[in-house]
Structure 1
Amino acid sequence: MPRALKLFLHRLQLLALQITISVMSGRKPVLLAGPGSAMRLCGTVVELGARRVLIVTDAVLVKIGLIAPLAQALEAAGAVCAVYDGVEPDPTHAQIEAGIALAREHRADAVLAVGGGSPMDAAKVIAACVGNNCRVADVVGNFKVKKAPLPVYAVPTTAGTGSEVTAVAVVTDTAARAKTPVVDGKLVPVMAALDASLMTGLPRAVTAATGMDALTHAVESYISGFANAETRPLSVAAVRLIFANLGKVCADGSDLEARQAMALASTYAGFAFTRASVGYVHAIAHNLGGLYHTPHGLANAIVLPHVLDFSRDAAARQLAELTVEIGAATSAEPVAVRAQRFIDRLRALARETGIPETLDTLRAADIPVIARRAMDEAQGFYPVPRFMVQSECEALLAKLLP
């Protein structure tokens, strides 16, 4: 298909999507913040009527003792709990179906998600499928959740995905070796607790990758064609907080103030991209994750500067504005100079926090497949500042080869 026709169809599909997003549920979660907020949330869950709560998490958090106090707090408030800890990174249809079965067996009337993006995504889909008496495959795609899910409450233990406030979940189709999205306003959690005391034990590599994930959300939402007066201040706030604090938490994971700032940045960025969407970084990262199980934050971190190189001229004004916001330039400097400086500062932050420049699992033979899938995902769905075709995506991916 000629590039001009692809671009025309892309813009037409985006127009329809923008109209849909504008009428999508605008619900925002109630936020509790600060050390101890996770325990406060547990009491509130019961106050709001939950009596049979399914906790969705992963085995590591159970093993290190993070889940037991939350379950005890729920039970002390009057709820009966069951724990599903079968979620692994990039949760599969099978893992989520197992969680659905346990939720039904437990007769759950609420779901508490505790963990990083994978447990939160799994919890959203479990709640949607139980509420709609359906399977995972029935809700994959855009706006396919017909009835209200079980209420979801979120306690993120990483600062990056923003899933605690978004209308998106991502599940892995193992047969296709691809990530598949579930997008619906009904997925947005009821309440979230941003409790940095649960994040101080995160390894440096996880802290860096998840922090760069949040930065990707903030930057892509800011340069998006759907960015608006509501989303831009949130994107800017997230970018400022991340540049000011990610290096600190990577150097000292026990810095509670910096951890709390990163948790807030992740949530701001989550709010922003729910309305403004993301772009080619996510399209490529999703498909690296689907093929190689590359952690999503790490894939975003590696891909982001290359996509910004590609989009620099088309997004120069926005990137120049962000450079001023992080204190790396004045508004008197030329736009092009400021835009390039933002990309340079981003690369410097990635180096400081230990993000690699290449992807050691990437194989040259896989590049055409990854590029095709990424372009298929982005077509008509991501309001990017500069349109990309497969050959350009392949050239970008080649720069990531080890």
Structure 2
Amino acid sequence: MIKFFRTLLQRSYLALIAIPFKLMPSLAYMAFNGQGSTAQLCRHIARQGIKRVLVVSDKPLVALGIVARAVDVLQEEGVSCIIYDGTLPDPTFAMVDAGLALQAQHSCDAVLAIGGGSSIDCAKMIASAASNGRDAKKLVGYFKVKTAPLPLFALPTTSGTGSEATIAAVISDPQSHEKCFIADPKMLPKAVALDADLLLGMPAAITAATGMDALTHAIETYISLWGSDTSNGYGYAAVKMIFDYLPRAYHKGDDAVAREQVALAAYYAGMAINEASVGNVHAIAHQLGRHYGTPHGLANALVMPEVLRFMAVAAQQPLANLGRLIAVADSRDDDRVAAGKFIDAVADLNRRLGIPEQLDALRDADIATIAADAVKEGSLYPVPILMSRNECQTILRSLLSSTEGAAALA
């Protein structure tokens, strides 16, 4: 009975919050794809009449010369570049403020993000806060970006977060470790480049974690209660592309075709998020990042198989569709069997990519708190079925290391 009323309350909340999303104008912008598209994006920026760009990135990408590939082209086109390289994983409001200070000091009239999801999210907030009172914390929540941000452009150097294609950003509060969510269609970049040349040197472990992050987005949007023909089309295509090309990119990092296809899949999955949101996998993964600093893509990968098993009945039809899509199931399998084979394939892909089955940092003593926070967050997403705290705790305990699990039983 309690679960019935929780579900009824959640569906009422989702119906209410879905209204502004359904009324959003169609999201469209320019995307350059393929090797050499960095230069295309930079020339496009120059053609917009922009004179001074704040480049938001991180120190490793500056040291590797990745940032210079864009900056050199921009400068050749007569655009001045100011580099902010202070972004770190899980960007904070302090990093946003530091970027804002540089933007104001040099009167930058546009922002270019070069990096993974952290740099892109930080750039989104800098561009938005610059034209909305310069206090990023006041933009936390939905649809609070009242004035158009500075023109924002993105050059992703990982293939996973999809932030280059979404209307949202996540910024961390270093005191509470809370991840603050900001979403507004005005935050969508004006143009992006998916350049395989920038992805060729990505380490195998990062390739695996970010690729599984993209797969999580694709699956969660495909089984979402908010799924539409458009978002389902993006998610469906992304799942197939990731299963086909992520192992190739992982085992042979200089495979430009594989890199390009995984980048495009991450982009598709990001586009799907704009309509369909995410789900229970993210609800748990966010807490693992908050408590232990677990990288987001790795956390999603660790959690996903068990969460999908928990949702196997509620999301049976779409999971079965995906099983047949990647050919681990066929027309002779009923939906229950096909869905199970797809979930097994996700777990097998984790193993093939070197993703561990346990999280060494996880402590049994923390599980009750983590589960409570995950259940609370999950209730805000259009998931096929809500988790109870006990169900979430069971999922989490499956991730305990053998040593910690034995200690918990002692």
Normalised TM-score (structure 2): 0.96
Q: Which residue of 1 aligns with 2:405?
A: none
Between the aligned partners of 1:347 and 1:5, the Cα distance in structure 2 is: 33
Q: Which residue of 1 aligns with 2:406?
A: none
Q: Which residue of 2 aligns with 1:395?
A: 394
Equivalent residue of 2:376, what SS?
Answer: helix
Cα offsets for 1:270-321 (capped at 9, x unmatched): 1111111110111111111122111110000001111101000111110110
C-alpha displacement at 1:25, in angstroms?
A: 3.9
When structure 1 is superposed on structure 2, of 340-349 and 367-376 the one drifting more is 367-376
Q: Which residue of 2 aligns with 1:252?
A: 252
Q: State percent identity of aligned pairs.
A: 46
Is the Cα–Cα contact under 8 Å of residues 149 and 186 in structure 1 kept in the other structure? yes
Residues 301-320 of structure 1 mapped to structure 2, 5 A cutoff: 301-320=301-320
Q: Which residue of 2 aligns with 1:198?
A: 198
C-alpha root-mean-square deviation of aligned residues, in Å? Answer: 1.2
When structure 1 is superposed on structure 2, of 157-166 and 24-33 the one drifting more is 24-33
Cα offsets for 1:43-93 (capped at 9, x unmatched): 110101211100000111001111112112111111111000100000011
Between the aligned partners of 1:25 and 1:49, the Cα distance in structure 2 is: 26
Cα offsets for 1:223-248 (capped at 9, x unmatched): 00011111111111000000001111
Aligned amino acid, residue 52 of structure 1: R
Q: Which residue of 2 aligns with 1:136?
A: 136
Q: Which residue of 2 aligns with 1:158?
A: 158
Between the aligned partners of 2:373 and 2:151, the Cα distance in structure 1 is: 33
Q: Which residue of 1 aligns with 2:263?
A: 263
Is the Cα–Cα contact under 8 Å of residues 359 and 401 in structure 1 kept in the other structure? yes
Q: Which residue of 1 aligns with 2:178?
A: 178
Equivalent residue of 1:113, what SS?
Answer: strand
Cα offsets for 1:329-372 (capped at 9, x unmatched): 21231111100000111111110010111111111121122122
Residues 359 and 25 (structure 1), Cα distance of their counterparts in 2 relative to 1, 3 Å cut: farther
Equivalent residue of 1:99, what SS?
Answer: helix
Is the Cα–Cα contact under 8 Å of residues 100 and 134 in structure 2 kept in the other structure? no
Is the Cα–Cα contact under 8 Å of residues 170 and 181 in structure 1 kept in the other structure? yes
Equivalent residue of 1:244, what SS?
Answer: helix
When structure 1 is superposed on structure 2, of 186-195 and 4-13 the one drifting more is 4-13
Aligned amino acid, residue 350 of structure 1: N
Equivalent residue of 2:83, what SS?
Answer: strand
C-alpha displacement at 1:6, in angstroms?
A: 2.2
Q: Which residue of 2 aligns with 1:3?
A: 3
Residue 57 (str. 1) matches residue 57 (str. 2):
yes
Q: Which residue of 2 aligns with 1:100?
A: 100
Equivalent residue of 1:312, what SS?
Answer: coil
Aligned amino acid, residue 397 of structure 1: L
Q: Which residue of 2 aligns with 1:75?
A: 75
Is the Cα–Cα contact under 8 Å of residues 53 and 79 in structure 1 kept in the other structure? yes
Equivalent residue of 1:262, what SS?
Answer: helix
Q: Which residue of 2 aligns with 1:112?
A: 112
Equivalent residue of 1:31, what SS?
Answer: strand
Q: Which residue of 1 aligns with 2:286?
A: 286
Aligned amino acid, residue 35 of structure 2: P
Cα offsets for 1:378-397 (capped at 9, x unmatched): 22x21111111222112211
Residue 325 (str. 1) matches residue 294 (str. 2):
no
Is the Cα–Cα contact under 8 Å of residues 29 and 165 in structure 1 kept in the other structure? no
Residues 345-364 of structure 1 mapped to structure 2, 5 A cutoff: 345-364=345-364
C-alpha displacement at 1:9, in angstroms?
A: 1.5
- List runs of 5+ in structure 1 lacking aligned partners: none
C-alpha displacement at 1:222, in angstroms?
A: 0.3
Q: Which residue of 2 aligns with 1:382?
A: 381
Is the Cα–Cα contact under 8 Å of residues 53 and 80 in structure 2 kept in the other structure? yes
C-alpha displacement at 1:138, in angstroms?
A: 0.5
Aligned amino acid, residue 396 of structure 2: L
If asked which structure has higher relative contact order (CA below 8 Å, sep 6+), I would say 1
Equivalent residue of 1:132, what SS?
Answer: coil
Q: Which residue of 1 aligns with 2:209?
A: 209
C-alpha displacement at 1:102, in angstroms?
A: 1.1
C-alpha displacement at 1:141, in angstroms?
A: 1.3
- List runs of 5+ in structure 2 lacking aligned partners: 402-410
Between the aligned partners of 1:293 and 1:103, the Cα distance in structure 2 is: 29
Normalised TM-score (structure 1): 0.98
C-alpha displacement at 1:376, in angstroms?
A: 2.0
Aligned amino acid, residue 135 of structure 1: D
Is the Cα–Cα contact under 8 Å of residues 378 and 386 in structure 2 kept in the other structure? no
Equivalent residue of 2:229, what SS?
Answer: coil
Between the aligned partners of 2:74 and 2:244, the Cα distance in structure 1 is: 36
Between the aligned partners of 1:117 and 1:206, the Cα distance in structure 2 is: 13
C-alpha displacement at 1:144, in angstroms?
A: 1.3
Q: Which residue of 2 aligns with 1:85?
A: 85
C-alpha displacement at 1:121, in angstroms?
A: 0.5
Between the aligned partners of 1:178 and 1:290, the Cα distance in structure 2 is: 7
Q: Which residue of 1 aligns with 2:235?
A: 235
Between the aligned partners of 2:287 and 2:168, the Cα distance in structure 1 is: 17
Between the aligned partners of 1:69 and 1:219, the Cα distance in structure 2 is: 34
